[in-house]
Structure 1
Amino acid sequence: MTDVIDGNAVAADIREGVTECVDVLEDSGVRPGLATVLMSDDPASETYVSMKQRDCEEVGIEGIHVDVDNDAPAQELYDTIESLNDDDAVHGVLVQKPFVDQVDERRVLRTIDPVKDVDAFHPENVGRLVAGDPLFKPCTPHGIQRLLAAADVDPEGKEAVVVGRSDIVGKPMANMLFGRDEGGNATTTVCHSRTADLAEHTRRADIVVAAAGVPEFITGDMLSEGAVVVDVGINRVERNGESTLVGDVAFESAKEKASAITPVPGGVGPMTRAMLLYNTVKAAGLEADVDVPLP
């Protein structure tokens, strides 16, 4: 029987642990703070920011939000980030994507102070991850590691295939899967849009992480019997005149082959948000030199 990995349940456990961390920090006179910055009128981005602010409120983190006019010069965004870097009440800074045309994405990432970079996208944090000494782990890959652990899946010695090479998921996920830390030590292959015969790679994998942003393109016949499948994709498609969310994996056919699989929604998504809270309390603990009981 296939184990459908419940991301909501695992995320709830993480959030409970984060709440305990907040209590420890507040006993030491520190309230962790997460600042979100939005320079866009994209409705989806506004929704994501609202969800993150609500998450903060539920676990006791101080949520700070700053809107920057999307017609403003890019320098206004960079200056906003610098001011948050200097704000002692802010321990994590997150700038919501997508960015408007006048903004240099790489400059945004470089401007966030690495010790407040709770997304772990600053070049220093990327380098530390690759070197095996991360200050923070990127939220989605770290969430995937925790989902695998919750499902009693140890990547050590297994064949893992990551489909997608984005800076946000694919690249860091591959590094974490073949790294020497707990949750790693897999033999890892990264596939992408130029990979010849993708199915040849996925069929030999014990673990498949699908993160390419293409609706339902990983099907059951592309998997080995008993594979563990992690679906990172969130794609909105029209079916029978209605809009619905699907992943990068054709769930029903993949479920016939997989020993464990994450659903969409309710799989990786809740974990990404939970690990953002995790990184925020970790950042607050490091800044205050307080030993917090990270979940």
Structure 2
Amino acid sequence: MLAIIFIVSIAKMPEILPNINKLHFIKTANIIDGKKVAQDIQKELKTQIETWIKQGNRRPCLIAILVGEDPASQTYIEKKMAASREVGIESKTIKLPVTSKESEIIDEIQKLNKDDSVDGILVQLPVPEHVSERHVCNAVDPLKDVDGFHTTNIGKLTLNSDTFIPATALAVLELIKRYNIPTFGKNIVVCGRSKNVGLPITLLLHSDAKNELPGGEATVTLCHRHTPPEELEFFAKHADIIISATGVVNLIKSHMVKRGACIIDVGITRITTKDGKTKLVGDVDFEGVSKVAEYITPVPGGVGPMTVAMLMSNTLKAAQHILKKNSA
């Protein structure tokens, strides 16, 4: 009986072979390893900084201001300070009480603006509710604004002029470049319109590559909380690249992603698992989407480490720009 079945199967092969190419085999997406790329960038920066110092320049200096004792903010600051030490940037955190008045925070910033030994200034966000985030960000000297949040730097970004790019947006762009993911003429969906992440990413990817700040030459659709779910799904299904930065868990699911797309997950949300433990997750259903996409970033280990690395890059850039201005 077994022999007969085998013969029949062979006889059916001519019918089966033409259809093999139509089958979709499950393939796990290539992981975009932000942690590895961040380590590579920090090694490059360390070499550049040591060369900079050997040329007779002082060591770049980054000062962070932390208002209050928010645990997440403290963790982010610690990571930034550790990265500074790793690449050879002098760094310090100024801690202010949560009750600090807006005028007191701005006074501290103004002191740093006038300090010629300081190259980069960042105010860890969010600030307390009684403090205006915009007033505080605009108090930082645009030449020392390594976060890229000052109105002047955001304005330059809209005009594709060379400026400080917000670190998370720069992280996304750098990952796309280092993994050789094409953007020219591609459809890109950005979920989230924040002025620190979603909007800068959109500005970088849609613009002309011939500008002073080269753009990605893509067609970019910017979606946000008021985009109807069915419209988001429509746009996502036609996207070659999806970048999500909303903090909405499982916003992007496998049925919304076309095969072969690139998925950049910027979202970070801490959830409690069934066993009572906590873990970080992104906006993307990683398990499902990784079976459809060609490239995908994990959370954690994707955009997060890259954001810190690009902040270090901005700090070196600030030192170089300040030297150029003082030498003019």
Please classify the TM superposition score into its range, dividing by the shorter chain length: over 0.9
Which segment is superposed worse, 31-40 or 68-77?
A: 68-77
Q: 2:219 aligns with which of 187, 193, 210?
A: 187
| Paired AA for residue 308 in structure 2 | R
Q: Which residue of 1 aligns with 2:18?
A: none
Q: 2:191 aligns with which of 147, 163, 167?
A: 163
The list of structure 1 runs, each at least 4 consecutive aligned residues, that deviate by more than 6 angstroms after superposition, is: none
Instruction: Indicate the SS of the match to 1:171.
Output: helix
Q: CA deviation at 1:180?
A: 1.6
Q: Which residue of 1 aligns with 2:148?
A: 120
| Paired AA for residue 271 in structure 1 | M
Inter-partner Cα distance in structure 2 for 1:24 and 1:108: 34
| Structure whose alpha-carbon radius of gyration is higher | 2
Q: Does 1:73 align with 2:101?
A: yes
Q: Which residue of 2 aligns with 1:272?
A: 307
Inter-partner Cα distance in structure 2 for 1:180 and 1:24: 33
Q: Does 1:3 align with 2:30?
A: yes
Q: Is the 8 A contact 2:62 2:121 kept in 1?
A: yes
Inter-partner Cα distance in structure 2 for 1:29 and 1:169: 32
Q: CA deviation at 1:47?
A: 1.3
Q: Is the 8 A contact 2:126 2:133 kept in 1?
A: no
Q: Deviations over 1:151-196 (max 9, x none)?
A: 1102111000000100111100000010123451000000011112
Q: Does 1:239 align with 2:267?
A: no
Inter-partner Cα distance in structure 2 for 1:127 and 1:183: 15
Q: Is the 8 A contact 1:235 1:245 kept in 2?
A: yes
Instruction: Indicate the SS of the match to 2:177.
Output: helix
Q: Is the 8 A contact 1:81 1:112 kept in 2?
A: yes
Q: Does 1:202 align with 2:230?
A: no
Matches within 5 A, 1:19-98: 19-27=46-54, 28-98=56-126
Inter-partner Cα distance in structure 1 for 2:225 and 2:129: 25
Aligned length: 290
Q: Which residue of 2 aligns with 1:256?
A: 291
Inter-partner Cα distance in structure 2 for 1:219 and 1:40: 37
Q: CA deviation at 1:149?
A: 1.3
Q: Which residue of 1 aligns with 2:324?
A: 289
Instruction: Indicate the SS of the match to 1:34.
Output: strand
Q: Is the 8 A contact 2:192 2:222 kept in 1?
A: yes
Inter-partner Cα distance in structure 2 for 1:70 and 1:289: 37
TM-score, length-normalised on structure 2?
0.86
Inter-partner Cα distance in structure 2 for 1:137 and 1:166: 14
Q: Which residue of 1 aligns with 2:136?
A: 108
Q: Is the 8 A contact 1:159 1:205 kept in 2?
A: yes
Q: Which runs of 5+ in 1 are unaligned?
A: 291-295
Inter-partner Cα distance in structure 1 for 2:312 and 2:287: 32
Q: Which runs of 5+ in 2 are unaligned?
A: 1-26
Q: Is the 8 A contact 1:156 1:183 kept in 2?
A: no
Q: CA deviation at 1:216?
A: 1.6
Instruction: Indicate the SS of the match to 1:249.
Output: coil
Q: CA deviation at 1:134?
A: 2.8
| Paired AA for residue 132 in structure 1 | N
Instruction: Indicate the SS of the match to 2:189.
Output: strand
Inter-partner Cα distance in structure 2 for 1:183 and 1:213: 26
TM-score, length-normalised on structure 1?
0.96
Bigger RCO (CA 8 Å, 6+ sep): 1
Inter-partner Cα distance in structure 2 for 1:72 and 1:236: 28
Q: Which residue of 1 aligns with 2:251?
A: 217
Q: Deviations over 1:128-157 (max 9, x none)?
A: 001010311111111111111121102111
Inter-partner Cα distance in structure 1 for 2:131 and 2:250: 32
Q: CA deviation at 1:25?
A: 2.2
| Paired AA for residue 321 in structure 2 | L
Instruction: Indicate the SS of the match to 2:129.
Output: coil
Instruction: Indicate the SS of the match to 1:289.
Output: helix
